[in-house]
């Protein structure tokens, strides 16, 4: 599966090599995110006395990679749950509370969303950024405030950093303006 790709690159970033050496994923959002997660894990384990050095932390992956994959999967799950919430907000803002609740419900039981939300891959984070960009674009249509342009643009950029086709959400910004 593709899951080890972001894991291996994130661990390599820990050596100081920030070149992902693969470019079939557009950016390094998932890899950078996992690098941060692993850095937090390292600090927590170091402060807790579980590892004595960065080398011991790196070696712990080869003894049992479970905590590495589990931490990444929990982060992806958080993105998936946040996407369900933002889908509710998007449906509510664009139509009604009922539309938001129905959209969120169907996303929460969508087999593809459920499956991807349990893996360390860039699909679910991209989906979150796309939904957030659409939500901000709706706000642009209501009140053309600079903060909504910034939020929509940043979310579109983050979606693109996850997967190339996330860039398509940027089209919502000029459409919302017009």
Q: What is the pLDDT along the chain (178 residues), one digit of tens a residue?
A: 677 777 788 888 888 888 877 776 666 788 889 999 999 999 999 999 999 998 899 899 899 989 999 999 999 999 999 999 999 999 999 999 999 999 999 999 999 999 999 998 889 999 999 999 999 999 999 888 899 999 999 999 999 988 888 899 999 998 998 7
C-alpha span between 70 and 49 (Å, rounded): 20
* CA separation, residue 103 to residues 2, 20, 71, 112, 131 (Å): 29, 36, 28, 15, 12
Residue 92, CA distances (Å) to 80, 101, 124, 155, 164 in order: 18, 8, 21, 20, 28
Task: State the angle between helix axes of 123-142 and 66-94 in degrees (0 to 180), rounded to the nearest 10.
Answer: 20
Nearest to 139 by CA among 173, 163, 98: 173
Q: How many CB atoms lie within 10 A of CB 4?
A: 12
Write out the two tokens for 146.
């600079």
Question: In 118-141, which positions are buried (b, 16+ CB within 10 angstroms) versus exposed (e)?
Answer: ebbbbbbbbbbbbbbbbbbbbbbe
Cβ(64)–Cβ(37) below 8 Å: no
CB 155 within 8 A of CB 172: no
Residue among 64, 75, 77 nearest 31 (CA):
75
**Tokens linked to 159:** 């979606």
Q: What is the pLDDT of residue 75?
A: 95
What is the C-alpha end-to-end distance of the chain, expressed in Å? 43
């Amino acid at each position: 599966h593709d899951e080890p790709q972001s894991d291996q690159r994130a661990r390599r970033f820990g050596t100081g090599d920030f070149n992902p050496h693969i470019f079939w994923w557009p950016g390094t959002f998932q890899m950078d995110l996992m690098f941060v997660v692993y850095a937090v894990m390292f600090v927590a384990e170091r402060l807790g006395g579980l590892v004595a050095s960065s080398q011991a932390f790196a070696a712990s992956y080869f003894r049992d990679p479970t905590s590495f994959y589990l931490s990444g999967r929990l982060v992806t799950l958080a993105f998936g749950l946040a996407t369900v919430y933002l889908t509710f907000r998007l449906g509510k803002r664009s139509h009604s509370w009922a539309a938001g609740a129905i959209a969120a419900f169907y996303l929460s039981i969508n087999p593809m969303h459920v499956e991807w939300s349990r893996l360390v891959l860039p699909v679910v984070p991209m989906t979150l950024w796309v939904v957030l960009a659409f939500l901000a674009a709706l706000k642009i249509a209501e009140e053309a405030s600079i903060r909504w342009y910034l939020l929509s643009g940043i979310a579109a950029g983050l979606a693109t950093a996850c997967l190339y086709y996330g860039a398509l959400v940027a089209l919502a910004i000029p459409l919302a303006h017009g």
